[in-house]
Amino acid sequence: MDKHIIFEDEQIRVIFLRGSSDELIFSFGDLITRAKGLSINAEKSLSKYDFNVIGIMPKQKSWFPESSMRQMFAEIQELIAPFKTRIGYGGSMGGYAAIKYSNLLDLKRVVALVPQYSINPDDVEDPRYNMFFHAELNANMQIQPQDVSAEREYIVVYDPYCPEDRAQYVKLEQVLPHIHTLNLPFTGHDAIAVLASSELLHDFLLHDFDATYFYKKIRQVKKNSKFYYRKVIENLLPRHKNALGSILINNDLQLDNQFFDAKLKQQLLRELLSNKQVSQQDLMKLGIQVNLPQENRSQLLDSFGHGLVFNVISQKIESYAASAIALNHKFLIPIFAKGSALVQITLNDERYVVAMNDRHVIKLFKEHEPLTAGMHPIVMKKYSDFYVLSYKHLNLNNNEYGSHDFIEDTPETAQFVTQPFHP
């Protein structure tokens, strides 16, 4: 593979990858794909089609300063002169550069995924990137009329529901002569990862623009992208609680147990357990494996009338409505009142003590199994009118959403009552 550095300064490293195409692709890196050896942004996909490529890779989080870009251009003019068709491609910071320097590099087409108009806080308020603005390096960095031309074709892909990217796009609309816009809803700033496809990139670079055609290709890529479903779930969950069930039903996901971070996984479990009957297949699709317990006894109620349970999936004490417990009795194990005693539950006909450490990590120990270092049993205390669950000097407190924490006081929300349980 013929690949070598053709320009380098403190801000950028520029690599030429020789191919056989008539077109010359300028591929701009972003904050993640910064200069590393001879690597080029989207190199695998571009090499597959044997494109001639100039990879412009940032060495700093400096948004391709104009001084570096003009010096680079002066040194590579002879190399790029034979290529009459030049195309720019990049995402985020790279998308910004592809647009900003489209006139300088005489690009026929620019494909920019979630680009910025500027990171100068005086131009656009964007807390993600304003911190990287340096007045000296980035003077007049906003995309201006003299940077672009109606003779060039600009394709922008972004999520119109992402407020930060929407603000950047609105500014771009005001300066670009015309934009071909492709919307990628509910994916946030992750268009590059969601649309990772050699075939789609090839079409973005060379296929005549046809929105219907591109949306069809995008749908095909999204259908096979686990990352896409993670972003959709993450963005839809707070607003459209039924969307998760539809996604699980209509898609054959098989995710690993590291796919969702702990916070999102807990949100997913709460929505699943509160709104639908959860099957083991649902959990497997989400990369969650669990031993199925069985229990058939009565329990405690919190101050909001919800049943107190041990959630074997999240490994936490929580509260759920009776209907949710009935639907998901294999995973939500009732905690029963037995007088003053250690808090225990029954799984697969075995008794377990519920214990916790000072970092509030809860674990189960078989009834006759020794506790590990740092773990202390949670104690149930019976009073005349209510029960309290305690860890050392702290008492279990609940809220209307079913979450619990341990506090020093004993308000009404830390008092539990009993009620017959009917499975």
Q: What domains sit in the chain, N to C, each tagged with a CATH number?
A: 3-225 (3.40.50.1820), 237-285 (no CATH), 299-419 (2.80.10.50)
Residue 301 Cα to chain centre, angstroms: 36
pLDDT digits (tens, 9 = 90+) for 41-97: 999 999 999 999 999 999 999 999 999 999 999 999 999 999 999 999 999 999 999
pLDDT digits (tens, 9 = 90+) for 136-170: 999 999 999 999 999 999 999 999 999 999 999 99
Instruction: Give 276's pLDDT tier (boundaries 50, 70, 90).
Output: low
Instruction: Give 294's pLDDT tier (boundaries 50, 70, 90).
Output: very low
How many angstroms separate the CA atoms of 84 and 362, rounded?
65
pLDDT over 90 percentage in the chain: 70
Beta bridge partners, 317, equal 310
Q: Is 409 exposed, middle or buried (0-12, 13-18, 19+ CB in 10 A)?
A: exposed
How many angstroms separate the CA atoms of 336 and 308, rounded?
8
> What is the residue whose two structure tokens read 């044997």?
50
Instruction: Give 374's pLDDT tier (boundaries 50, 70, 90).
Output: very high
- Residue type at 310 in one-letter notation: F
Question: b vs e for 212-245, b when ≥16 Cβ sit within 10 Å of the residue's Cβ?
Answer: eebeebbeebbeebebbbbbbbbbbbeeeeebbb
CA distance to 25, 130, 136, 305, per residue, from 62 (Å): 22, 11, 11, 55
Compare 206 and 418 and report the one with higher pLDDT.
206
pLDDT digits (tens, 9 = 90+) for 400-423: 889 999 999 899 999 999 887 655
How many angstroms separate the CA atoms of 303 and 306, rounded?
7
How many angstroms separate the CA atoms of 350 and 368, rounded?
10
Report residue 133 as tokens: 């603005």
SS3 308: strand
Rounded to the nearest 10 degrees, the angle between the axes of helix 262-275 and helix 243-250 is: 90
How many angstroms separate the CA atoms of 244 and 271, rounded?
8
Residue among 248, 231, 317 at smallest CA distance from 283:
248
> What is the residue whose two structure tokens read 């980035």?
138
Q: Which of 77-86, 215-224, 227-236, 237-246 has the lowest mean pLDDT?
A: 237-246
pLDDT reading at 172 higher than 70: yes
Q: Which of 205-209, 271-275, 375-379, 382-386 has the lowest mean pLDDT?
A: 271-275
